[in-house]
Structure 1
Amino acid sequence: MHVAVIGTGIMGGGVARTLLREGFDVTVWNRTRAKAEPLADDGVRVADTVAEAVADADVVVTVLFDGPAVLDVLREGGRARHSADAPLWVQASTIGTAATAQVVDLARELDVPLVEAMMLGTKKPAETGALVMLAAGDPDLVARATPVLDAMGAKTVVAGTEVGQGTALKLAANAWIASITAATAQSLALTQALGLDPRLFLDAIAGGQSDSQYAHVKGATMIAGEYPAQFALDGIRKDIDLMREAADGTPVDTGLLEALAGLYGRASDRGHGGDDIAAVRTGFDA
Protein backbone atom coordinates (compact mmCIF):
# COMPACT_ATOMS: atom_id res chain seq x y z
CA MET A 1 0.00 0.00 0.00
CA HIS A 2 1.25 3.45 -0.95
CA VAL A 3 0.72 6.21 1.63
CA ALA A 4 1.32 9.93 1.11
CA VAL A 5 2.02 11.92 4.27
CA ILE A 6 1.34 15.61 3.82
CA GLY A 7 3.25 17.63 6.41
CA THR A 8 6.53 16.50 7.95
CA GLY A 9 6.74 18.39 11.22
CA ILE A 10 7.29 16.72 14.59
CA MET A 11 4.31 14.40 14.15
CA GLY A 12 4.28 13.97 10.38
CA GLY A 13 7.95 13.07 10.21
CA GLY A 14 7.51 10.48 12.93
CA VAL A 15 4.45 9.01 11.23
CA ALA A 16 6.24 8.78 7.87
CA ARG A 17 9.13 6.84 9.41
CA THR A 18 6.74 4.55 11.26
CA LEU A 19 4.77 3.74 8.12
CA LEU A 20 7.98 3.04 6.19
CA ARG A 21 9.20 0.74 8.95
CA GLU A 22 5.86 -1.10 8.85
CA GLY A 23 6.31 -1.91 5.16
CA PHE A 24 4.32 0.82 3.40
CA ASP A 25 5.59 2.71 0.39
CA VAL A 26 5.74 6.30 1.63
CA THR A 27 5.85 9.62 -0.19
CA VAL A 28 5.90 12.92 1.69
CA TRP A 29 5.35 16.55 0.90
CA ASN A 30 6.14 19.56 3.05
CA ARG A 31 5.67 23.22 2.22
CA THR A 32 9.35 23.75 3.06
CA ARG A 33 11.02 20.90 1.21
CA ALA A 34 14.26 21.16 3.20
CA LYS A 35 12.39 20.03 6.30
CA ALA A 36 11.33 16.84 4.51
CA GLU A 37 14.68 16.04 2.93
CA PRO A 38 16.09 14.08 5.94
CA LEU A 39 13.36 11.49 5.36
CA ALA A 40 14.87 10.69 1.95
CA ASP A 41 17.85 9.15 3.72
CA ASP A 42 15.45 6.64 5.29
CA GLY A 43 13.97 5.63 1.94
CA VAL A 44 10.97 7.95 1.83
CA ARG A 45 10.25 9.69 -1.49
CA VAL A 46 10.03 13.47 -1.20
CA ALA A 47 7.62 15.10 -3.65
CA ASP A 48 7.84 18.64 -4.99
CA THR A 49 4.08 19.23 -5.01
CA VAL A 50 0.99 17.91 -3.27
CA ALA A 51 -0.33 16.66 -6.62
CA GLU A 52 2.86 14.67 -7.16
CA ALA A 53 2.71 13.23 -3.64
CA VAL A 54 -0.85 11.91 -4.00
CA ALA A 55 -0.57 10.85 -7.66
CA ASP A 56 -0.11 7.14 -6.94
CA ALA A 57 -1.24 7.01 -3.32
CA ASP A 58 -3.86 4.65 -1.95
CA VAL A 59 -4.14 6.66 1.27
CA VAL A 60 -3.26 10.31 1.99
CA VAL A 61 -2.61 11.35 5.60
CA THR A 62 -2.66 15.08 6.34
CA VAL A 63 -0.60 16.13 9.36
CA LEU A 64 -0.72 19.92 9.19
CA PHE A 65 -0.92 22.83 11.62
CA ASP A 66 -4.30 24.39 10.89
CA GLY A 67 -7.48 24.40 8.86
CA PRO A 68 -6.35 26.70 6.03
CA ALA A 69 -3.35 24.45 5.39
CA VAL A 70 -5.55 21.35 5.20
CA LEU A 71 -8.00 23.07 2.86
CA ASP A 72 -5.16 24.23 0.60
CA VAL A 73 -3.68 20.76 0.15
CA LEU A 74 -7.09 19.15 -0.28
CA ARG A 75 -7.90 21.62 -3.09
CA GLU A 76 -4.64 20.81 -4.85
CA GLY A 77 -4.46 17.12 -4.17
CA GLY A 78 -8.17 16.43 -4.46
CA ARG A 79 -8.13 17.54 -8.06
CA ALA A 80 -5.04 15.52 -8.90
CA ARG A 81 -6.83 12.21 -9.42
CA HIS A 82 -10.14 11.35 -11.05
CA SER A 83 -12.79 10.67 -8.42
CA ALA A 84 -13.18 7.05 -9.50
CA ASP A 85 -9.53 6.49 -8.68
CA ALA A 86 -9.26 8.87 -5.73
CA PRO A 87 -7.15 7.89 -2.74
CA LEU A 88 -8.69 7.82 0.69
CA TRP A 89 -7.88 11.01 2.59
CA VAL A 90 -7.23 10.56 6.30
CA GLN A 91 -7.41 13.95 8.02
CA ALA A 92 -5.14 13.73 11.09
CA SER A 93 -4.57 17.43 11.81
CA THR A 94 -6.12 19.11 14.85
CA ILE A 95 -8.02 21.93 13.18
CA GLY A 96 -11.18 22.31 15.25
CA THR A 97 -14.85 21.76 14.52
CA ALA A 98 -15.50 24.73 12.23
CA ALA A 99 -12.56 24.06 9.91
CA THR A 100 -13.38 20.35 9.90
CA ALA A 101 -16.86 21.16 8.61
CA GLN A 102 -15.25 23.16 5.80
CA VAL A 103 -12.98 20.22 4.96
CA VAL A 104 -15.99 17.89 4.83
CA ASP A 105 -17.79 20.26 2.46
CA LEU A 106 -14.75 20.57 0.18
CA ALA A 107 -14.17 16.82 0.10
CA ARG A 108 -17.80 16.32 -0.88
CA GLU A 109 -17.47 18.96 -3.61
CA LEU A 110 -14.34 17.27 -4.99
CA ASP A 111 -15.80 13.77 -4.53
CA VAL A 112 -12.87 12.78 -2.33
CA PRO A 113 -13.42 9.92 0.17
CA LEU A 114 -12.61 11.30 3.63
CA VAL A 115 -12.25 10.05 7.17
CA GLU A 116 -10.53 11.60 10.15
CA ALA A 117 -8.07 10.00 12.53
CA MET A 118 -6.87 12.39 15.19
CA MET A 119 -3.55 11.47 16.75
CA LEU A 120 -3.42 11.38 20.54
CA GLY A 121 0.24 11.42 21.54
CA THR A 122 3.47 13.27 20.97
CA LYS A 123 6.78 12.87 19.13
CA LYS A 124 7.92 9.55 20.59
CA PRO A 125 4.59 7.71 20.08
CA ALA A 126 4.48 9.03 16.51
CA GLU A 127 7.97 7.65 15.88
CA THR A 128 7.21 4.27 17.46
CA GLY A 129 3.68 3.61 16.21
CA ALA A 130 2.24 4.01 19.72
CA LEU A 131 -0.28 6.79 19.10
CA VAL A 132 -3.94 6.48 20.03
CA MET A 133 -5.97 7.11 16.89
CA LEU A 134 -9.36 8.81 17.25
CA ALA A 135 -11.21 7.88 14.08
CA ALA A 136 -14.56 8.94 12.66
CA GLY A 137 -16.36 8.64 9.36
CA ASP A 138 -18.17 6.16 7.16
CA PRO A 139 -17.49 2.70 8.65
CA ASP A 140 -16.47 1.25 5.28
CA LEU A 141 -13.94 4.03 4.77
CA VAL A 142 -12.63 3.69 8.33
CA ALA A 143 -12.17 -0.03 7.64
CA ARG A 144 -10.27 0.85 4.47
CA ALA A 145 -7.96 3.08 6.53
CA THR A 146 -7.46 0.49 9.28
CA PRO A 147 -4.11 -0.94 8.08
CA VAL A 148 -2.62 2.55 8.15
CA LEU A 149 -4.20 3.42 11.50
CA ASP A 150 -2.98 0.15 13.01
CA ALA A 151 0.56 0.95 11.90
CA MET A 152 0.42 4.49 13.28
CA GLY A 153 -1.15 3.66 16.63
CA ALA A 154 -1.31 1.20 19.48
CA LYS A 155 -5.10 1.36 19.36
CA THR A 156 -7.92 3.08 17.51
CA VAL A 157 -10.97 4.55 19.22
CA VAL A 158 -13.85 5.09 16.80
CA ALA A 159 -15.66 8.24 17.90
CA GLY A 160 -18.54 7.99 15.46
CA THR A 161 -19.69 7.68 11.89
CA GLU A 162 -19.41 11.37 11.01
CA VAL A 163 -16.20 13.24 10.31
CA GLY A 164 -16.00 15.81 13.07
CA GLN A 165 -16.71 13.47 15.95
CA GLY A 166 -13.05 12.46 16.11
CA THR A 167 -12.13 16.14 16.24
CA ALA A 168 -14.54 16.69 19.13
CA LEU A 169 -12.97 13.83 21.08
CA LYS A 170 -9.46 15.11 20.33
CA LEU A 171 -10.29 18.57 21.67
CA ALA A 172 -11.65 17.03 24.87
CA ALA A 173 -8.54 14.87 25.23
CA ASN A 174 -6.18 17.78 24.61
CA ALA A 175 -8.06 19.85 27.18
CA TRP A 176 -7.02 17.17 29.67
CA ILE A 177 -3.41 17.28 28.46
CA ALA A 178 -3.29 21.07 28.71
CA SER A 179 -4.83 20.97 32.18
CA ILE A 180 -2.70 18.23 33.72
CA THR A 181 0.50 19.76 32.32
CA ALA A 182 -0.35 23.15 33.79
CA ALA A 183 -1.46 21.57 37.08
CA THR A 184 1.87 19.75 37.38
CA ALA A 185 3.69 23.03 36.74
CA GLN A 186 1.60 24.82 39.36
CA SER A 187 2.32 22.24 42.06
CA LEU A 188 6.05 22.25 41.31
CA ALA A 189 6.13 26.05 41.33
CA LEU A 190 4.24 26.21 44.63
CA THR A 191 6.45 23.56 46.24
CA GLN A 192 9.56 25.48 45.24
CA ALA A 193 8.15 28.87 46.23
CA LEU A 194 7.43 27.54 49.72
CA GLY A 195 11.08 26.61 50.15
CA LEU A 196 11.02 22.92 49.32
CA ASP A 197 12.75 20.80 46.71
CA PRO A 198 10.14 20.52 43.90
CA ARG A 199 11.00 16.83 43.52
CA LEU A 200 9.23 16.27 46.83
CA PHE A 201 5.89 16.90 45.11
CA LEU A 202 6.54 14.02 42.69
CA ASP A 203 7.68 11.84 45.60
CA ALA A 204 4.48 12.69 47.48
CA ILE A 205 2.09 11.58 44.72
CA ALA A 206 4.14 8.54 43.63
CA GLY A 207 2.16 5.32 44.00
CA GLY A 208 -0.99 7.01 45.30
CA GLN A 209 -4.42 7.30 43.74
CA SER A 210 -3.56 10.74 42.37
CA ASP A 211 -0.31 9.56 40.78
CA SER A 212 0.27 10.01 37.06
CA GLN A 213 3.18 8.77 34.99
CA TYR A 214 2.66 11.84 32.82
CA ALA A 215 3.23 14.16 35.79
CA HIS A 216 6.58 12.48 36.45
CA VAL A 217 7.68 12.73 32.80
CA LYS A 218 6.72 16.37 32.40
CA GLY A 219 7.71 17.20 35.96
CA ALA A 220 11.25 15.98 35.41
CA THR A 221 11.49 18.22 32.35
CA MET A 222 10.17 21.19 34.32
CA ILE A 223 12.61 20.64 37.19
CA ALA A 224 15.51 20.39 34.74
CA GLY A 225 14.32 23.54 32.97
CA GLU A 226 14.95 21.93 29.59
CA TYR A 227 12.10 21.72 27.12
CA PRO A 228 12.92 19.80 23.91
CA ALA A 229 9.70 19.79 21.92
CA GLN A 230 7.56 16.67 22.00
CA PHE A 231 4.40 18.76 21.62
CA ALA A 232 5.13 22.41 20.89
CA LEU A 233 3.68 24.92 23.33
CA ASP A 234 2.26 27.09 20.56
CA GLY A 235 0.51 23.97 19.27
CA ILE A 236 -1.43 23.51 22.49
CA ARG A 237 -2.18 27.25 22.49
CA LYS A 238 -3.76 26.82 19.07
CA ASP A 239 -5.72 23.83 20.34
CA ILE A 240 -6.97 25.73 23.40
CA ASP A 241 -8.33 28.41 21.08
CA LEU A 242 -10.10 25.66 19.12
CA MET A 243 -11.56 24.27 22.35
CA ARG A 244 -12.90 27.70 23.29
CA GLU A 245 -14.38 28.09 19.81
CA ALA A 246 -16.01 24.65 19.96
CA ALA A 247 -17.44 25.31 23.44
CA ASP A 248 -19.04 28.57 22.33
CA GLY A 249 -22.79 28.08 22.30
CA THR A 250 -22.68 25.03 24.56
CA PRO A 251 -23.47 24.97 28.30
CA VAL A 252 -19.79 24.37 29.14
CA ASP A 253 -18.13 27.08 31.23
CA THR A 254 -14.79 28.00 29.64
CA GLY A 255 -13.23 29.57 32.71
CA LEU A 256 -10.52 26.94 32.98
CA LEU A 257 -9.75 27.20 29.28
CA GLU A 258 -9.40 30.96 29.63
CA ALA A 259 -6.93 30.49 32.49
CA LEU A 260 -4.96 27.94 30.49
CA ALA A 261 -4.84 30.27 27.50
CA GLY A 262 -3.33 32.93 29.74
CA LEU A 263 -0.70 30.63 31.25
CA TYR A 264 0.47 29.12 27.96
CA GLY A 265 0.34 32.55 26.35
CA ARG A 266 2.60 33.98 29.04
CA ALA A 267 5.10 31.17 28.52
CA SER A 268 5.02 31.75 24.77
CA ASP A 269 5.56 35.48 25.25
CA ARG A 270 8.66 34.58 27.26
CA GLY A 271 10.15 32.82 24.25
CA HIS A 272 8.93 29.24 24.74
CA GLY A 273 6.43 28.93 21.90
CA GLY A 274 8.55 26.38 20.03
CA ASP A 275 9.48 24.47 23.18
CA ASP A 276 7.61 21.56 24.72
CA ILE A 277 4.31 22.26 26.48
CA ALA A 278 6.11 21.54 29.77
CA ALA A 279 7.52 25.07 29.38
CA VAL A 280 4.19 26.29 30.76
CA ARG A 281 6.14 26.05 34.03
CA THR A 282 7.70 29.39 33.09
CA GLY A 283 4.23 30.92 33.05
CA PHE A 284 4.12 30.61 36.83
CA ASP A 285 7.30 32.64 37.36
CA ALA A 286 6.90 36.23 38.48
Structure 2
Amino acid sequence: MTSSAAGATPERPVVAVLGTGIMGSGMARSLLRAGLDVRAWNRTGSRAAPLAADGATVTETAEEAVRGADVVLTMLNDGPGVAAALAAASGGVHAGQILLQSSTVGPDAGADLAQRAADLGLVYLDAPVSGTRQPAEQGALTVFVAGPSAARAAVDPVLDAIGQRTVWVGEVPGAASRLKLVVNTWVITMVNNIAECLNLAEGLGVDPQTFLDAVKGGPLDSSYLHGKSAAVLSGDLTPSFALSTALKDTRLILDAAASAGVRLDLVEASADRFARAEAAGHGGEDMIATYYAGRAPEKHGD
Protein backbone atom coordinates (compact mmCIF):
# COMPACT_ATOMS: atom_id res chain seq x y z
CA MET A 1 0.00 0.00 0.00
CA THR A 2 1.51 3.32 -1.05
CA SER A 3 0.43 6.93 -0.90
CA SER A 4 1.50 10.26 -2.31
CA ALA A 5 0.35 12.47 0.56
CA ALA A 6 2.90 13.35 3.22
CA GLY A 7 0.31 13.07 5.99
CA ALA A 8 -0.95 9.64 4.98
CA THR A 9 -0.02 6.55 7.01
CA PRO A 10 0.47 3.51 4.78
CA GLU A 11 0.13 0.23 6.67
CA ARG A 12 3.30 -1.10 5.12
CA PRO A 13 5.22 1.79 3.59
CA VAL A 14 7.61 1.18 0.76
CA VAL A 15 11.04 2.62 1.51
CA ALA A 16 13.69 3.28 -1.10
CA VAL A 17 17.14 3.20 0.49
CA LEU A 18 19.72 5.04 -1.59
CA GLY A 19 23.19 4.24 -0.30
CA THR A 20 23.98 0.84 1.22
CA GLY A 21 27.35 1.24 2.86
CA ILE A 22 28.01 0.40 6.51
CA MET A 23 25.10 2.49 7.79
CA GLY A 24 22.66 2.23 4.91
CA SER A 25 22.78 -1.55 4.74
CA GLY A 26 22.22 -1.82 8.49
CA MET A 27 19.27 0.55 8.32
CA ALA A 28 17.81 -1.40 5.38
CA ARG A 29 17.96 -4.63 7.38
CA SER A 30 16.26 -2.95 10.34
CA LEU A 31 13.48 -1.77 8.03
CA LEU A 32 13.06 -5.29 6.67
CA ARG A 33 12.86 -6.81 10.16
CA ALA A 34 10.07 -4.35 10.95
CA GLY A 35 8.10 -5.68 7.99
CA LEU A 36 8.55 -2.75 5.66
CA ASP A 37 9.07 -3.18 1.94
CA VAL A 38 12.57 -2.05 1.01
CA ARG A 39 14.09 -1.25 -2.34
CA ALA A 40 17.85 -0.83 -2.16
CA TRP A 41 20.17 0.93 -4.55
CA ASN A 42 23.85 1.74 -4.39
CA ARG A 43 26.08 3.32 -7.01
CA THR A 44 28.37 0.29 -6.69
CA GLY A 45 25.75 -2.41 -7.11
CA SER A 46 27.77 -5.16 -5.42
CA ARG A 47 27.37 -3.36 -2.09
CA ALA A 48 23.58 -3.55 -2.31
CA ALA A 49 23.39 -7.11 -3.67
CA PRO A 50 23.65 -8.91 -0.27
CA LEU A 51 20.43 -7.23 0.88
CA ALA A 52 18.45 -9.37 -1.56
CA ALA A 53 19.00 -12.36 0.74
CA ASP A 54 17.38 -10.37 3.55
CA GLY A 55 14.27 -9.66 1.49
CA ALA A 56 15.04 -6.32 -0.14
CA THR A 57 14.39 -5.60 -3.78
CA VAL A 58 17.77 -4.57 -5.15
CA THR A 59 17.44 -2.27 -8.14
CA GLU A 60 19.87 -1.41 -10.87
CA THR A 61 18.96 2.28 -10.91
CA ALA A 62 18.02 4.90 -8.34
CA GLU A 63 15.05 5.84 -10.50
CA GLU A 64 13.68 2.32 -10.28
CA ALA A 65 14.18 2.26 -6.50
CA VAL A 66 12.17 5.41 -5.79
CA ARG A 67 9.31 4.95 -8.24
CA GLY A 68 6.12 4.51 -6.20
CA ALA A 69 7.94 4.47 -2.84
CA ASP A 70 6.39 6.28 0.13
CA VAL A 71 9.72 7.30 1.64
CA VAL A 72 13.12 7.81 0.06
CA LEU A 73 15.92 7.38 2.62
CA THR A 74 19.35 8.65 1.63
CA MET A 75 22.45 7.47 3.49
CA LEU A 76 25.51 8.47 1.50
CA ASN A 77 28.92 9.86 2.34
CA ASP A 78 28.41 13.56 1.65
CA GLY A 79 26.30 16.29 0.09
CA PRO A 80 27.53 15.82 -3.48
CA GLY A 81 26.81 12.10 -3.18
CA VAL A 82 23.22 12.77 -2.11
CA ALA A 83 22.79 15.38 -4.84
CA ALA A 84 24.02 12.89 -7.45
CA ALA A 85 21.64 10.21 -6.15
CA LEU A 86 18.69 12.62 -6.30
CA ALA A 87 19.59 13.55 -9.85
CA ALA A 88 19.77 9.87 -10.78
CA ALA A 89 16.41 9.22 -9.10
CA SER A 90 14.61 12.32 -10.37
CA GLY A 91 12.74 10.53 -13.14
CA GLY A 92 11.04 8.24 -10.62
CA VAL A 93 10.00 10.59 -7.83
CA HIS A 94 6.51 11.99 -7.36
CA ALA A 95 5.10 15.10 -5.71
CA GLY A 96 4.53 14.70 -1.98
CA GLN A 97 7.00 11.85 -1.63
CA ILE A 98 9.02 12.08 1.58
CA LEU A 99 12.80 12.43 1.41
CA LEU A 100 14.32 11.30 4.70
CA GLN A 101 17.83 12.68 4.29
CA SER A 102 19.97 10.88 6.88
CA SER A 103 23.48 11.52 5.55
CA THR A 104 25.73 13.86 7.53
CA VAL A 105 26.25 16.69 5.05
CA GLY A 106 26.51 19.90 7.11
CA PRO A 107 24.35 23.03 6.97
CA ASP A 108 25.43 24.40 3.59
CA ALA A 109 24.96 21.16 1.66
CA GLY A 110 21.77 20.54 3.60
CA ALA A 111 20.29 23.82 2.38
CA ASP A 112 21.21 22.90 -1.17
CA LEU A 113 19.59 19.48 -0.85
CA ALA A 114 16.44 20.99 0.64
CA GLN A 115 16.14 23.23 -2.41
CA ARG A 116 16.74 20.31 -4.76
CA ALA A 117 14.01 18.37 -2.96
CA ALA A 118 11.61 21.30 -3.23
CA ASP A 119 12.34 21.58 -6.96
CA LEU A 120 11.35 17.91 -7.31
CA GLY A 121 8.19 18.37 -5.22
CA LEU A 122 9.51 16.25 -2.35
CA VAL A 123 8.77 16.73 1.35
CA TYR A 124 12.23 17.21 2.84
CA LEU A 125 13.09 15.89 6.29
CA ASP A 126 16.55 16.71 7.62
CA ALA A 127 17.22 13.49 9.56
CA PRO A 128 20.84 12.64 10.41
CA VAL A 129 21.45 9.74 12.77
CA SER A 130 23.70 9.13 15.74
CA GLY A 131 25.22 5.67 15.93
CA THR A 132 27.53 3.30 14.11
CA ARG A 133 27.40 -0.13 12.47
CA GLN A 134 25.93 -2.14 15.36
CA PRO A 135 23.11 0.29 16.26
CA ALA A 136 22.24 0.58 12.56
CA GLU A 137 21.99 -3.20 12.30
CA GLN A 138 19.94 -3.40 15.51
CA GLY A 139 17.52 -0.58 14.73
CA ALA A 140 18.94 1.27 17.73
CA LEU A 141 20.06 4.58 16.22
CA THR A 142 19.09 7.98 17.55
CA VAL A 143 17.50 10.01 14.77
CA PHE A 144 17.46 13.81 14.81
CA VAL A 145 14.68 15.16 12.59
CA ALA A 146 13.72 18.64 11.43
CA GLY A 147 10.92 19.25 8.96
CA PRO A 148 7.16 19.73 8.59
CA SER A 149 5.13 18.07 11.33
CA ALA A 150 2.53 17.03 8.75
CA ALA A 151 4.96 14.35 7.57
CA ARG A 152 5.46 12.76 10.97
CA ALA A 153 2.68 10.16 10.85
CA ALA A 154 3.78 8.91 7.45
CA VAL A 155 7.42 8.56 8.43
CA ASP A 156 6.96 7.23 11.98
CA PRO A 157 7.08 3.54 10.92
CA VAL A 158 10.43 4.17 9.26
CA LEU A 159 11.85 6.07 12.22
CA ASP A 160 10.61 3.41 14.65
CA ALA A 161 12.33 0.71 12.59
CA ILE A 162 15.75 2.34 12.33
CA GLY A 163 15.98 4.02 15.72
CA GLN A 164 15.43 3.49 19.40
CA ARG A 165 14.79 7.20 19.80
CA THR A 166 13.67 10.06 17.57
CA VAL A 167 14.39 13.65 18.54
CA TRP A 168 12.20 16.11 16.63
CA VAL A 169 14.22 19.31 16.59
CA GLY A 170 11.87 21.66 14.77
CA GLU A 171 9.86 22.44 11.67
CA VAL A 172 12.68 23.95 9.64
CA PRO A 173 15.20 21.64 7.94
CA GLY A 174 18.78 22.33 8.99
CA ALA A 175 18.20 22.33 12.73
CA ALA A 176 18.79 18.58 12.96
CA SER A 177 22.01 18.78 10.95
CA ARG A 178 23.34 21.49 13.25
CA LEU A 179 22.59 19.36 16.29
CA LYS A 180 24.31 16.39 14.64
CA LEU A 181 27.52 18.41 14.26
CA VAL A 182 27.48 19.20 17.98
CA VAL A 183 26.99 15.52 18.84
CA ASN A 184 29.75 14.50 16.46
CA THR A 185 32.09 17.02 18.07
CA TRP A 186 31.69 15.11 21.31
CA VAL A 187 32.35 11.76 19.61
CA ILE A 188 35.33 12.96 17.57
CA THR A 189 37.15 14.54 20.50
CA MET A 190 36.39 11.51 22.68
CA VAL A 191 37.80 8.97 20.20
CA ASN A 192 40.98 11.01 19.81
CA ASN A 193 41.24 11.36 23.59
CA ILE A 194 41.11 7.57 23.91
CA ALA A 195 43.76 7.18 21.20
CA GLU A 196 46.08 9.67 22.89
CA CYS A 197 45.73 7.98 26.28
CA LEU A 198 46.73 4.68 24.67
CA ASN A 199 49.60 6.40 22.87
CA LEU A 200 50.92 7.89 26.10
CA ALA A 201 50.53 4.62 27.99
CA GLU A 202 52.55 2.87 25.33
CA GLY A 203 55.19 5.60 25.31
CA LEU A 204 55.61 5.56 29.08
CA GLY A 205 55.67 1.79 29.33
CA VAL A 206 52.30 1.61 31.11
CA ASP A 207 50.21 -1.46 30.33
CA PRO A 208 47.05 -0.04 28.66
CA GLN A 209 44.95 -2.55 30.58
CA THR A 210 46.27 -1.07 33.83
CA PHE A 211 44.95 2.32 32.70
CA LEU A 212 41.56 0.82 31.81
CA ASP A 213 41.36 -0.99 35.15
CA ALA A 214 42.28 2.21 37.00
CA VAL A 215 39.23 4.11 35.69
CA LYS A 216 36.83 1.16 35.56
CA GLY A 217 33.65 1.70 37.53
CA GLY A 218 34.47 5.29 38.43
CA PRO A 219 33.16 8.64 37.16
CA LEU A 220 35.75 8.68 34.36
CA ASP A 221 34.70 5.29 32.99
CA SER A 222 32.64 4.66 29.85
CA SER A 223 31.70 1.70 27.69
CA TYR A 224 32.98 3.67 24.69
CA LEU A 225 36.45 3.84 26.25
CA HIS A 226 36.58 0.08 26.72
CA GLY A 227 35.09 -0.74 23.34
CA LYS A 228 37.46 1.43 21.33
CA SER A 229 40.46 0.42 23.44
CA ALA A 230 39.63 -3.24 22.87
CA ALA A 231 39.64 -2.63 19.10
CA VAL A 232 43.14 -1.18 19.27
CA LEU A 233 44.54 -3.79 21.65
CA SER A 234 43.11 -6.69 19.64
CA GLY A 235 44.12 -5.20 16.31
CA ASP A 236 40.56 -5.63 14.99
CA LEU A 237 39.84 -2.32 13.30
CA THR A 238 36.82 -3.48 11.30
CA PRO A 239 35.03 -0.18 10.80
CA SER A 240 31.94 0.64 12.81
CA PHE A 241 32.54 4.16 11.54
CA ALA A 242 35.37 4.62 9.06
CA LEU A 243 38.21 7.00 9.83
CA SER A 244 37.90 8.76 6.46
CA THR A 245 34.23 9.43 7.16
CA ALA A 246 35.13 10.80 10.59
CA LEU A 247 37.63 13.13 8.91
CA LYS A 248 34.93 14.32 6.51
CA ASP A 249 32.61 15.06 9.44
CA THR A 250 35.40 16.82 11.32
CA ARG A 251 35.91 19.16 8.39
CA LEU A 252 32.17 19.86 8.25
CA ILE A 253 32.29 20.80 11.93
CA LEU A 254 35.24 23.13 11.40
CA ASP A 255 33.55 24.80 8.42
CA ALA A 256 30.38 25.35 10.42
CA ALA A 257 32.34 26.65 13.41
CA ALA A 258 34.25 29.11 11.22
CA SER A 259 30.98 30.42 9.79
CA ALA A 260 29.67 30.86 13.34
CA GLY A 261 32.83 32.59 14.57
CA VAL A 262 33.67 29.75 16.95
CA ARG A 263 37.18 28.37 17.49
CA LEU A 264 37.45 24.63 18.15
CA ASP A 265 41.04 23.81 19.07
CA LEU A 266 40.40 20.16 19.94
CA VAL A 267 38.51 19.53 16.71
CA GLU A 268 41.31 21.13 14.70
CA ALA A 269 43.81 18.81 16.39
CA SER A 270 41.49 15.87 15.73
CA ALA A 271 41.38 16.74 12.04
CA ASP A 272 45.18 16.71 11.94
CA ARG A 273 45.32 13.29 13.60
CA PHE A 274 42.69 11.80 11.30
CA ALA A 275 44.47 13.21 8.26
CA ARG A 276 47.82 11.71 9.34
CA ALA A 277 46.23 8.33 9.98
CA GLU A 278 44.45 8.44 6.63
CA ALA A 279 47.69 9.33 4.85
CA ALA A 280 49.31 6.32 6.53
CA GLY A 281 46.69 4.03 4.98
CA HIS A 282 44.14 3.72 7.79
CA GLY A 283 41.24 5.60 6.17
CA GLY A 284 39.09 2.51 5.66
CA GLU A 285 39.56 1.25 9.22
CA ASP A 286 37.55 2.19 12.27
CA MET A 287 38.08 5.77 13.38
CA ILE A 288 39.97 4.63 16.48
CA ALA A 289 42.80 4.01 13.98
CA THR A 290 43.64 7.63 14.82
CA TYR A 291 45.74 5.81 17.41
CA TYR A 292 48.33 5.23 14.68
CA ALA A 293 48.73 8.97 14.18
CA GLY A 294 50.23 9.26 17.66
CA ARG A 295 52.50 6.26 17.87
CA ALA A 296 56.16 7.02 18.39
CA PRO A 297 58.22 6.26 15.28
CA GLU A 298 60.12 3.03 15.41
CA LYS A 299 63.78 3.41 16.31
CA HIS A 300 66.27 1.94 13.93
CA GLY A 301 69.87 1.11 14.67
CA ASP A 302 72.71 2.91 12.90
TM-score, normalised by the number of residues in structure 2: 0.91
Does the aligned pair in 2 maintain the 1:54–1:87 contact within 8 Å? no
Q: Distance in 2 between matches of 1:6 and 1:37?
A: 13
Q: Distance in 1 between matches of 2:60 and 2:234?
A: 41
Q: How big is the shift at 1:141?
A: 1.6
Q: Counterpart in 2 of 1:31?
A: 43
1:39-76 per-residue CA deviation (whole Å, 9 max, x = no partner) reads 11111111111110001211110000111111122233
Q: Counterpart in 1 of 2:154?
A: 144
Name the SS of the counterpart of 1:176 in structure 2. Answer: helix
Does the aligned pair in 1 maintain the 2:196–2:294 contact within 8 Å? yes
Structure 1 stretches of 5 or more lacking a match?
none
Q: Quick check: 1:190 aligned with 2:200?
A: yes
Q: Distance in 1 between matches of 2:53 and 2:91?
A: 30
Q: How big is the shift at 1:159?
A: 1.8
Q: Distance in 1 between matches of 2:201 and 2:176?
A: 38
Residue among 108, 132, 135 paired with 1:125? 135
Root-mean-square deviation (CA, aligned residues, Å) is 1.2
Distance 1:246 1:143, change over 3 A: farther
1:243-282 correspondence runs (5 A): 243-282=253-292
Does the aligned pair in 1 maintain the 2:97–2:121 contact within 8 Å? no
Query: For residue 287 of structure 2, what is the amino acid of its counterpart?
Result: I
Q: Quick check: 1:42 aligned with 2:54?
A: yes
Q: Distance in 2 between matches of 1:249 and 1:117?
A: 22
Q: How big is the shift at 1:79?
A: 4.0
Q: Counterpart in 2 of 1:211?
A: 221
Does the aligned pair in 1 maintain the 2:93–2:120 contact within 8 Å? no
Residue among 39, 48, 55 paired with 2:67? 55
Q: Counterpart in 1 of 2:83?
A: 71
Q: Distance in 2 between matches of 1:165 and 1:209?
A: 32
TM-score, normalised by the number of residues in structure 1: 0.96
Q: Distance in 1 between matches of 2:153 and 2:262?
A: 33
Task: Give the aligned length.
Answer: 284
Q: Quick check: 1:6 aligned with 2:18?
A: yes
Q: Counterpart in 1 of 2:166?
A: 156
Query: For residue 67 of structure 1, what is the amino acid of its counterpart?
Result: G
Q: How big is the shift at 1:270?
A: 1.2
Structure 2 stretches of 5 or more lacking a match?
1-12, 297-302
Name the SS of the counterpart of 1:64 in structure 2. Answer: coil
Name the SS of the counterpart of 2:241 in structure 1. Answer: coil
1:144-180 per-residue CA deviation (whole Å, 9 max, x = no partner) reads 2111011100101112211111111111111111111
Percent identity between the aligned chains? 43
